[in-house]
Structure 1
Amino acid sequence: MLAARRRPSQEFQMFRNESTEQVAEPAGSSRSGSRRRAWTVTVLLVVFMVINFGDKAVLGLAAGALQREFGISAEQYGVIASGFFLLFSLSALAVGFLVDRIATKPVLLALAVIWSLTLLPVLGTAGFVVILVSRIVLGAAEGPAFGVANHAMQKWFPDAERNVPAALLSLGPSLGVIITAPTLTWLMIHFGWRSMFVALIAVGVLWAILWAALGKDGPIGAETAQPRADETSPAPETTVSTLRVLATGTWIGSAVAVFAAYWSLSLLIAWLPPYLTTGAGYSESETGLLTTLPWVVGALAVVVQGAVSQRLMWRGVSGRWARGGLGGAVMIVSGVCTWAFVQVPAGPLKLALMALGLGISGVIFTVATTACGQVSPARRRGAVLGAFVAVYSLAGMIGPLVAGRLVGAAGAAPADGYETTFTLTAAIVVIGGVAAVALIRPERDAARLHARDVNRLR
């Protein structure tokens, strides 16, 4: 009877080892060497995400030149821009399942090479069809990037240490704006628009070479993992299915919250600049500078959130509050600030509210990926994160389209359309924050998955 009572707790510990914390180091390796490799891989993955943004953004920077040189109309350009998302979600989901079965290193290498190859056709005698096909292929190759990169990172860090590296990965879009946008613009001004594509191709190839030499899959969750002397034996193959993980409150809350944040992010990219010029009365030169403010604030917020969450978890605070509670509260503040910034006149207060409202909701990306990793067995994590990306990326298509309808419906008073757009965005972000606080409970959901797993095995 005593043994029977202890069995669930012992199996739960085994489940935790398999899903988040089973770390195996090769014989003769040092802990410091393993940590160096973990951070080397993390830095490479951060650069990977920066390149990801640069490849995504270069079309917008070169839009005018492409339209003039290849005779592309505004309507055709809109189709090209939307075509990027045609296979984005499907690819994220499919590759997510793939990396549960094969190593992440060759997958990431293939993605980076494809990115560079899709930029090549634009350097020649291109046109509408060629550019459209290249963007569709690029979108298919970029869809899995965030999920696979996080899956690769989580193989190197136990659960309690994932918040900071996950935060660094989430900095990719912000660093992409801060680094690649002005750099690529400088290249275009001095060497022509094709130089931007050449530079991105070269950087992509260089990253692929470095990744081939230095990249490596981590030991956490590896099927061949062997425990150190002070660790519990690794768990047997879990019977927890991917669908059961996707049905947990943690996954649903994470997907809803990040969908809301991605909605806000897509408007930040596509609609904030025209709002500042036509809706708020700022000049184009002022707008170019002001649009970077939310990205800078967002980058700082992500780093601070990652550090705070990690410290809370080291002190024994549950993932519900260190991740879901903290991240959800930040999103609620973000939504309130988004609503407020369109209500006040132009000035420092408006800019501060804009930067906070559109910048800080991005912290939920770190929260959600680490929470999903916490509840998911390692052998299911690729598919779980792939499905997560597939759902939230839909906001990248829907958000800008809805904004366009609302602004267009305002007719001669575009400011009213923008106010409606950002008020709706504020409400969506608040709902996402509430979902994060209410639903992200990784310890509870992991325990429930484990209990069902035990009952099934009995």
Structure 2
Amino acid sequence: MQITSSSTTARTSRVNRVRVAVVVMLLLAGTINYIDRSTLSIANHDVSAELGLSSTEMGLVFSVFSWAYAFAQLPAGPLLDRLGARMVLGMGLIVWSAAQVLAGLSHGIGQLVGARVLLGVGEAPTFPANAKIVSQWFPPGRRGVPLGVATAASTVGPAIAPPILTWLLLAHGWRVMFIVIGVIGILVGLVWMILYRSPETRTAYQEGLAALGVTTEATDERQPWSIKEWLWLLRHRTSWAMIGGFTGVIYSVYLYLTWLPEYLQSERGLSIAAIGWALVLPYAFGTVGQLLGGIVGDALISRGVPVVTARKIPVVGGLLVGGLCSIPTALAPTTGWALVAICGVQLFINIASSGGWVMAATLADKRTTASLGSLQNFGGYFGGAFAPLVTGAVVGASGSFVLALLIASVVAVLAAGLYAWGVRKPIPPLPAVALNGVDPTDADETRD
């Protein structure tokens, strides 16, 4: 008995160490993801000046990334469910990093648009992969914190990107900045593919996870995928609310990610060097928000709050408060007060963002987690892609960011209402009869 107990303790201890390493690797991959997204924002002024692009054209360049990213979400989830996160996330990292190198070699808007499209396609699997991997390594009631840490990359990246990228930009120019960041990403992608293994492929992991309350199957993680899984997800109101509601999250996230440096430079009069440091604090608040989105939900569940309600509260509350913070951002009389309001936006919108991903990892079964996450992210980025385009057009027409920020506020509040109304219950697993060839609409399941 003592030997068995010691053996179990050793296995669980090893699994815990591996889980920590996996989450750290996800954080690193996601951080590189967002540093890459930030490069064009930081170099906006220099790139547009050298290539002769207007604000509207730069808005288009920003938006094509989002549309490519959004549509690439559709195959990303099924590919993750079919081929596994090791291969899909690793290849995605290499592809999007190669796109950064190509962007640094661009000499016209056509080449730049092509590089941005490739960047969006490569980055698409990242956050659905986070949801899938965390669902494999952690039980439902404990997924909030690790997924919050992994998705914190969406604020850690933009927080550390400005000082790093502005130094590269000022010291070596925007082209070298793109190429250096791209080469680093390619190396990280290769390391991921060499080191990572799914728990389904290792018996020792399965035994340790079982002792920690996580069920796994002793099979290759690659599973056949069927369009019936999407059809099943799309039969449920919860899925549609998540798809539409995430638009409000990404609209604000991407507006600030793409246009905040230009806003601080043109509307608030900060220099490029000052912007690099001014952006650190808002994204530090965003990182706290990413962690809180998972922590709050986990804490509510531990206190007996129903899972759906616990996962919905951070999303709805974050969208409401974060959306309202865009109003003082637009109307603040001084740069200092504008930065305070921006910190509020980043804190609460990222609570909602993290909460949305934890929701995807909790409200669907393991088989469809990545597919639900990719559908949600598709909705978010398809709608959110209009943020940089609309903002560029509004700023070009009005000469000010005020109206663009007020639009973001309205979008976020409407999205909060959609989550509150539409997310009512978990999505049940696809019935086995459907997987065996029977139409899922004939199965004994009801639409939520």
**TM-score bracket relative to the smaller structure:** 0.7 to 0.9
Q: Give the corresponding residue for 1:108.
A: 89
Cα pair distance change 1:142/1:306, threshold 3 Å: same
Within 5 A, what are the aligned runs for 1:377-388?
Answer: 377-388=365-376
Question: Whose radius of gyration is greater, 1 or 2?
Answer: 1
Residue identity in the other structure for 1:245: L
- Indicate conservation of the 8 Å contact 2:317/2:352, yes or no: no
* 3-state SS in 2 of match to 1:393: helix
Distance, in Å, in 2 between the alignment partners of 1:232 and 1:130 is: 47
1:317 aligned counterpart, secondary structure: coil
* Structure 1 match to 2:271: 284
Deviation string for 1:380-432 (max 9, x for gaps)? Answer: 2222211111110023321222223333443xxx34xx332222221211122
Instruction: Output the amino acid matched with 1:36.
Output: R
Q: Which residue, 171, 190, 207 being the options, matches 2:171?
A: 190
Match of 2:159 among 178, 194, 199: 178
CA offset at residue 107 of structure 1? 0.8
Counterpart code for 2:350: G
Matched-pair contact (CA < 8 Å) for 2:317–2:416: yes
TM-score by length of 2: 0.81
Are 1:160 and 1:310, in contact at CA under 8 Å, matched by a contact in 2? Answer: yes
CA distance in 1, matches of 2:332, 2:49: 39
Give 3-state SS (helix, strand or coil) of 1:271's partner.
Answer: helix
Separation of aligned partners in 2, 1:335 and 1:85? 20
Query: Does the 8 Å contact 1:144/1:389 carry over to 2?
Result: no
Give the match's secondary structure for 1:441. coil
Aligned to 2:318: 330
Q: 1:28 to 1:454 in 2, by over 3 A?
A: farther
Within 5 A, what are the aligned runs for 1:184-333?
184-219=165-200, 241-279=229-267, 281-284=268-271, 287-333=275-321
Structure 2 unaligned blocks of 5 or more: 1-6, 218-223, 435-439
Contact 2:395 2:404 in 1 (8 A): yes
Structure 1 residue 56 and structure 2 residue 37: aligned? Answer: yes
Task: Say if 1:80 and 1:319 are closer, same or farther in 2 by CA, change over 3 A.
Answer: same
Contact 1:325/1:436 (8 A) holds in 2:
no
Cα 1:31–1:455, aligned 2, differ >3 Å: closer, same or farther?
farther
TM-score normalised by structure 1 residue count: 0.79
Q: CA contact under 8 A between 2:162 and 2:279: conserved in structure 1? A: no
Corresponding letter in the other structure for 1:153: V
For residue 390 of structure 1, the aligned residue among 378, 383, 388 is 378
1:428 aligns with 2:411: yes
Q: Are residue 135 (structure 1) and residue 122 (structure 2) matched?
A: no
The CA deviation string for residues 335-387 of structure 1, in whole angstroms up to 9 with x for no partner, is 22222443442265443233213442121222122222222222222222111
Alignment-derived partner of residue 394 in structure 2: 406
Identity %: 22
Of residues 341-350 and 266-275 in structure 1, the stretch that sits farther from structure 2 once superposed is 341-350
Report the equivalent of 1:18: none
Residues 17-44 of structure 1: CA distance to partner in whole angstroms, max 9, x if unpaired? xxxxxxxxx9997112122212211111
**Which AA in structure 2 matches 1:428?**
V
- Which secondary structure does the structure 2 equivalent of 1:216 belong to? coil
**How much does 1:162 deviate?**
0.7
RMSD of aligned alpha carbons? 3.8
User: Residues 68 and 35 (structure 1 numbering): CA distance in 2 closer, same or farther, change over 3 Å?
Assistant: same
CA contact (8 A) 1:249 1:440 kept: yes
Going from structure 1 to structure 2, the CA distance change for 1:30 and 1:293 (only over 3 Å counts) comes to same
How many residue pairs get matched? 422
Kept after mapping to 2: 8 A contact 1:164/1:307? yes
Q: Match for 1:207: what amino acid?
A: V
Note the C-alpha offset of 1:328: 0.8
Q: Is contact 1:38–1:218 with CA below 8 Å preserved after alignment?
A: no
Inter-CA distance 123–337: structure 2 relative to 1 (3 Å threshold): closer
SS of the residue corresponding to residue 316 of structure 1 reads coil
In structure 1, which of residues 147, 150, 156 is the aligned counterpart of residue 128 of structure 2?
Answer: 147
Shift, 1:263, TM fit: 0.7
Q: Are the equivalent residues in 2 in contact too, given 1:91–1:140 (CA < 8 A)?
A: yes
Question: Which of 430, 443, 446 pairs up with 1:456?
Answer: 443
Give the AA of the match of 1:331.
L
Q: Aligned with 1:345: secondary structure?
A: coil
**Structure 1 residue aligned with 2:11:** 30
| Contact persistence 1:250–1:372 (CA under 8 A) | no
Match for residue 12 of structure 1?
A: none
Q: Deviations over 1:73-96 (max 9, x none)?
A: 447655544432342222111121
Counterpart for residue 363 of structure 2: 375
- Taking the aligned partners of 1:46 and 1:233, their CA distance within structure 2 comes to 24
Unaligned regions of 5+ residues in structure 1, if any? 1-25
Report matched runs for 1:21-100 at 5 Å: 30-63=11-44, 66=47, 71=51, 73-74=53-54, 79-100=60-81
Structure 1 SS opposite 2:283: helix
